[in-house]
Structure 1
Amino acid sequence: MTDPRPSIGLMFPDAQPESLAPWGHDGEYLAALDGEARRRGMRLVLCGTRRAADIPQIADDLDGVVLMGYHDDDLETLPRLTAPAVAVDGYSDRDDLMIVRSDDHDGGRRAGALLTSRGHRELVLVGPDAHDSGAMRARAAGFERAAMDGGARSIHRQVTAGTTLREGTMIGRMLRTRFPAATAVFATTDTLAAGIVEGLAQSGARVPEDLSIVGYDNLALAALVTPKLSTVAQNVARKARLTVDLLLEPDRRTGPLVTEVVVLERATVGPPASR
């Protein structure tokens, strides 16, 4: 029997299936979006695509489209879609794409201000290449500006291929060797930050006694790691609600919907260690 409910298609690059892990941002957003769609009498369909160019053909059979995980360059070259479309965490200026994202620049700024206010002057920024992602670019820019304004002497950059726990753990193992003067780290996602905490522990380092760590997202994962992760908190559930609002009433959009962020200081931030 055909399901009569309107269909939302959540589209993502199928080369990155690990991004939908339940402990990551995309997994939490997926769960929140599914719950919101059900509450509004809609159904959610997952659509992995090998290329962004494949999206229009799939979208023709849908009542709404949510784009997640695509590079901004991919969004810019995407053919126009007939169905209403929301790019989550996107930075595209296209007039046919609606945008929902957190205030990434302010989140990075808050992380930089927190660490420098605790006395940290040698910092490491860990995250994907900002060239590919407006969200990561904004977080990095906000962090670097606030850190320098707060008295940072050096901001080292560790570029990652992705944002997985595994990659964070690998980076954590080598952080103190590669950046011996650093006393604090800002990771642009909680999954990276949690992995870094684990990797540092495996290398014999203590958090926050040897290195302070701040993540971004406030995922459920942040309260499960030991020590509990300090993080920039965004409201993933609200992003999902706003996404469905836009799909149901696309004519009411007035520009990107940007959600506020706050810093939650838990146990991974302390004063710098004496070196």
Structure 2
Amino acid sequence: MNATIKDVAKQANVSIATVSRILNQSSKGYSEETRQQVMKAVDELGYRPNALARGLINKKTQTIGVLFPEISGMVTSELLHGIEEVAHHLGQSVIVCNTASQGEKTLKYLNLLDEKRVEGMIFASEVLTDEYYEALKKMNVPTVLVSTKSAKYSLPYVKVDDHDASYAATSYLIRKGHKDIGMISGMEEDPIAGSPRIRGFKAALEDHGLRSDAVIDARGFSFEHGKVAFPELMLEHPLLTALFAASDEMAVGALSSAYEWKLRVPDDLSIIGYDNSKIAEMSIPPLTTIAQPLREMGEKAVEMLSGMMKSGTNPQSIIMPHQIIERHTVRDLT
């Protein structure tokens, strides 16, 4: 039978109230000698505090909620690794919800997290709609956006500048001597990872006096989206020597399709991806890509949220640096 707080109090020869104050790290009402005596009893009895009961007393659950549109993606896994690592270090539990980018499901999870009395929210990789914002506002807990931002609502965020990163990827291909460059993009109406990356791609081409019409909207960022979009792009623009894909998974999908077309990468076609997820290292050949510091973004989001939970004030948003990771899918034509 599990030991109770009453058992600890009896063994330490103190009151239950004293044990409670010590376990909840109250700074008043006991001596250091008493604290050591209680903690010794806790160790000897193997006592484990009931988190739910403690939360009811403290009105704190030490829990944060995280909403992802796609829990199985490689980008998500890296963000989540960073989130959980820092949350664990800070003594916070994490409830992760997979919304599948569905509005009704997202609102359902927000209501669930409100019922669980989470103390903070991390909203990741999705557009913050009016409905989502109103639900978050009703919860009345600190919220941080990661890998997304809102132009309408002043919530702090952690993300890479997608326009600048896309511009950098395209400029890299141009520096390598490529002039006929295409793009497989996400949805143009997506203001987070769709239109900013398309605009960055077109801006780099235009700044170098090149065309900017070879863009295929793949309607998503998965392997399958890239694989299906690749033939469409190549049929419309058969003279392309290089391709920028708006995610690594799309880029590897394009690699797979290029293999079926008997195109050699990078000899016949160069490809650069976006994210620097694990799949970029595992692809054959290994994928050159734009790196987002995904794990660090997750870590920063929790650090920001923790600060907000303590201070009640919003911190400055953070734009994280991107960089080009050179591997073996881009040929130098200079």
Alignment-derived partner of residue 162 in structure 1:
220
Report the 3-state secondary structure (helix = DSSP H, G, I; strand = E; otherwise coil) of the residue aligned with 1:20: coil
Aligned: 1:111 with 2:165: no
- Residue pair 1:98, 1:256 contacting (<8 A) in 2 also: yes
**Aligned-partner residue type, residue 264 of structure 1:** I
Alignment-derived partner of residue 44 in structure 1:
94
Aligned: 1:32 with 2:82: yes
Of residues 245, 250, 254, the one that matches 1:196 is 254
Distance 1:132 1:153, change over 3 A: closer
- Residue pair 2:71, 2:98 contacting (<8 A) in 1 also: no
Aligned: 1:20 with 2:77: no
TM-score, reference length from structure 1: 0.87
More helix by share: 2
Gapped regions of structure 2 (runs ≥ 5): 1-49, 56-60
Report the 3-state secondary structure (helix = DSSP H, G, I; strand = E; otherwise coil) of the residue aligned with 1:66: strand
**Aligned-partner residue type, residue 150 of structure 2:** S
Alpha-carbon displacement from aligned partner over 1:17-64 (angstroms, at most 9, x marks no partner): xx3225x21122122212221122111111234424445423422111
**Aligned-partner residue type, residue 91 of structure 2:** G
- Residue pair 1:120, 1:152 contacting (<8 A) in 2 also: no
Report the 3-state secondary structure (helix = DSSP H, G, I; strand = E; otherwise coil) of the residue aligned with 1:180: coil
Give me the whole-angstrom Cα distance separating, in 2, the residues matched to 1:72 and 1:124: 30
Give me the whole-angstrom Cα distance separating, in 1, the residues matched to 2:280 and 2:274: 9
**Aligned-partner residue type, residue 176 of structure 1:** M
Distance 1:117 1:108, change over 3 A: same
Report the 3-state secondary structure (helix = DSSP H, G, I; strand = E; otherwise coil) of the residue aligned with 2:319: strand
Give me the whole-angstrom Cα distance separating, in 2, the residues matched to 1:233 and 1:78: 33
Regions of 4+ moved over 6 Å: none
How far did 1:265 drift?
A: 1.9
**Aligned-partner residue type, residue 111 of structure 2:** Q
Alignment-derived partner of residue 185 in structure 2:
127
Aligned: 1:58 with 2:119: no
Distance 1:151 1:115, change over 3 A: farther
Give me the whole-angstrom Cα distance separating, in 2, the residues matched to 1:78 and 1:161: 27
Alignment-derived partner of residue 16 in structure 1:
none
Gapped regions of structure 1 (runs ≥ 5): 14-18
Report the 3-state secondary structure (helix = DSSP H, G, I; strand = E; otherwise coil) of the residue aligned with 1:97: coil
Identity of aligned residues (%): 27
CA RMSD of aligned residues (A): 2.4
Give me the whole-angstrom Cα distance separating, in 2, the residues matched to 1:119 and 1:126: 20
TM-score, reference length from structure 2: 0.73
- Residue pair 1:107, 1:139 contacting (<8 A) in 2 also: yes
Larger RCO (CA within 8 A; separation ≥ 6):
1
Q: Compare CA radii of gyration and give the structure with the larger one.
A: 2
Greater alpha carbon shift after TM alignment, 48-57 vs 113-122: 48-57
